[in-house]
Amino acid sequence: MSDQNAELLEMVKALTSKVSAMEVEIKQLRLLNADVPEETMVAIAAAVAAYLGFRAKRRQAHFTTSAIWQSGTRRRQHAHDPLHLRKA
């Protein structure tokens, strides 16, 4: 029993020292990254996403110029459904 307890105590001490070292490293990383502007972070994230093959989706309002636009819109409003649903 005492052998197991001693072994467990050694493991806990080792894990505690590892966690302490990681906390110190995280604090140092936070200090290094504290002055990076948001625009730079967005640009870096976009570059990494593009490198990995993800394409950005640009969304803009779509307006129709057809003659039946008013009747279609009126019909949708009376149905109490949402006019535009975001497509993923």
Structural domain boundaries enclosing 8: 2-79
pLDDT of residue 19: 92
Specify the pTM.
0.35
User: Is residue 84 in a domain?
Assistant: no
When divided into structural domains, the chain yields a total of 1
Consecutive H or E run containing 77: helix 69-79
- Give residue 76's identity as a one-letter amino acid code: R
For 52-67, give the secondary structure using H, E and C. HCCCCCCCCCCCCCCC
Phi, psi of 27 (to 5 degrees): -60, -40
One digit per residue, the tens of pLDDT, for the chain of length 88 reads 788 899 999 999 999 999 999 998 888 877 766 677 888 888 888 888 888 888 777 777 666 666 676 677 677 666 665 656 666 5
- Give residue 55's identity as a one-letter amino acid code: R
User: Is residue 88 in a domain?
Assistant: no
User: Is residue 14 in a domain?
Assistant: yes
User: Is residue 43 in a domain?
Assistant: yes
Q: Give the integer Cα–Cα distance in Å for 76 and 24.
A: 58
